A and B are shown apart, each in its own frame.
Chain A
Amino acid sequence: MARRLRGFTLSDQAVGVLFMVPFVLTALFFMVYPIVEAVRMAFFSYNPLRPDLSAFVGLSNFSYIFDDQLFWTSFWQATVWTSFSIVFQTLFGVAIALLLHQALPGIAIFRGLLLFPYIVPTVVIALIWRWIFNPEIGIVNYALLAGGVISERIYWLSTPEMAMASTIMLNVWKYTPFVVICVLARLQSVPLELYDAAKVDGAGVVRRFIDVTLPQLREVLIVVVVFRTIWTFNKFEEIYLLTKGGPGTSTFNLAVYAFEQSIANLKLGVGAATGVIMMIMLSIGSVIYLRSAGFAREETHG
């Protein structure tokens, strides 16, 4: 790293500074300021309709949250939602990546089709979900009834358990491709000699997977799981667009809770305080990530 940098110390440092100016300004306005402001708002009462009544309230937004049963419910539901989503995404993701890593005719087409859900707008997925999981006219219930799997209609989106299951399905469907992409990229960089060496040593298919593939995937899996956990826990649209947090509050997570506090209850301070709590948890996750990915080791050489 250092060697590559040396050459430019001589020439126009001004360019280096000049090129950073737009980023610094943009980052200050659109990244740093909103986060600082979000933290500040957490200590104020703020009604967007009466901004003149805004006042410093200390920690009372936090005590409001901690006294609110709905916050704890949301927290618990987010944990359930995240855990199931991550487990299924990781399992499916690794399995699909292994399948796609084979040299088969038409593999590029399979790859394209299996990765496609990742870029479908969440709004679209949510609407399609509402259509195919519609209890009366949806194709899923029809197929299950016709196939004799179930004898009564399932109310996918209007019973608490099934609504949770539906949002998990949506999340798994949309984000498994992310795991696939990461694992596939890693698989492609595993040196083939390793497999040849294992074959020469007499390892069969199963042993080769356990002894060669899995250890190579360990690092990327840690990273993917940490990243996806952080993101999934804080997801808003995937839940809100499908169930609006309902039925009742049975699919609320912290993001939906913060949104509802801010928009429906007009308590922006409470919403912001929820955001601060989310950020604290996120920082913990990030530290785990940075530790596990070993970023600290990099670029210490002058």
Chain B
Amino acid sequence: MMSWDFLWRHTGRAVIFVTLCGLTFVVCFPLVWALSTSLKPKTEIFATPPTLIPKAPTFENYAALVTGRQQYFQSGGQQVDTGATPAQFFTRWFLNSLVVTLGSTLISIVVSTLAAYSLTRFRYWGRTFVPYFSLLGYMVPSIIFVFPLFLMMVRLELTDTLLSLVLGYVSITLPFCMWLMWAFMRSIPIEIEEAALVDGATRMQVFRDVVLPTALPGIIAAAIFAMIVSWNDYLFGRVFLNSLDNLTLTVGVMLFFEGTHVDWGLLMAACVLMTVPMAFLFMGLQRHLVAGFGAGAVKG
């Protein structure tokens, strides 16, 4: 008799493989198309039929972003200087994003690691309440945080500074870092620390020599998460920052749409460059992601 099992064994794997290939193509297509556009010269971008693999690949879009060269547009046979263009600020914005991301991640990680250790190893009132409070904080949308924080920055005279963003991002990264570090610390067997205590280590030696190295995978996962959140944020940057010099990448790149003419090649190149650091982080995270989320956001 022809059973499902029989069918499964003989055709199932091939079907799955083909399905996965198709699915992956669909999912990756927008990114591939963006990459393709970014490598095309201006004339080829609007060519019909469109080409997936550029016929005359060029790095001129990337060069323009990296060197901040002035862009000129052909308009009725004469070159028009469009004035200051976003491309000029691209490297600046990139650095701003980097500084803000690293700064807020550092704060969130240090604070949450210390707290997670304390919460999982010492007994005091409220120690079970804190992680769940953090989880609730994680669910509060940033649109609620952003204006009170903005007014706080106004009072602290920090508006339009990178520091304001560093501090602001702590409020959207800390809750999840706290939760994740707590879940991770909880899973570290306490016997190892006790062994070190018996071996004669002081509390701080235990923390430095035993806890931190053991917690490193959790710290890395939380740090990558925090970096992704900070790097990708648009709302806080949009509300906190004004001057072109101080913008982060997300806010700045949206300015490419200002004005009448959109340079798609340049824009897609900017998109690619913005995504590359995340891609690297993602590769680092892949190993931790499944495990990390298993322990963190979703229990069992």
Contacts and interface: CB of A to CB of B under 8 A. Distances in A.
Given A116-B31, A275-B143, A99 B250 contact: no
Contacts of A128: 30-31, 33-34, 268, 271
A159 B80 CA distance: 34
Contact of B278 (A8, A119, A240): A119
B16 A139 contact: no
B63 interface: no
A211 B293 CA distance: 25
A299 interface: yes
B23 interface: yes
A116 B30 CA distance: 12
A121 B49 contact: no
A271 to B, nearest CB: 6
B149 A4 contact: no
B275 A132 contact: no
Give the interface size bracket for A toward B: 35 or more
A20 B279 CA distance: 34
23 contacts: A19-B117, A20-B115, A27-B174, A30-B170, A34-B144, A34-B148, A34-B171, A99-B23, A110-B24, A111-B286, A116-B27, A123-B254, A124-B34, A131-B33, A142-B49, A182-B293, A185-B290, A185-B293, A189-B294, A205-B8, A237-B233, A259-B143, A290-B132
A60 interface: no
Given A114-B24, A272-B147, A231 B141 contact: yes
A116 B281 CA distance: 11
Given A104-B16, A185-B298, 4 more contacts: A8-B190, A119-B281, A223-B298, A278-B143
B3 A204 contact: yes
Contacts, number: 279
A292 B293 CA distance: 18
A185 B294 contact: yes
Q: Which 3 A-B pairs have the closest CB atoms?
A: A16-B122, A23-B115, A234-B141
A141 to B, nearest CB: 11
Interface string A29-41: 0110111011001
A128 B264 CA distance: 9
B61 interface: no
A65 interface: no
B31 A99 contact: no
Interface string B1-42: 001110010001100110110011001101101100100000
Given A27-B174, A205-B4, A114 B27 contact: yes
A129 interface: yes
Interface string B135-167: 011011111110111011010000000000001
Contact of B293 (A16, A17, A146, A181): A181
Contacts of B17: 104
Name A's interface SS: helix
B152 A184 contact: no
Contact of B147 (A15, A223, A271): A271
A20 B182 CA distance: 12
A231 B176 CA distance: 14
Contact of A38 (B8, B144, B239, B250): B144
A262 interface: yes
Give the one of B4, B118, B119, B142 with max A CB within 10 A.
B118
Given A124-B275, A128-B268, A113 B28 contact: yes
A289 to B, nearest CB: 8
A283 B8 CA distance: 45
A224 interface: yes
A112 B57 CA distance: 27
Interface string A91-104: 00000100110101
B203 A12 contact: yes
Interface in A139-182: 139, 142, 146, 173, 181-182
A26 interface: yes
Interface string B82-121: 0000000000000000000000000100111011011111
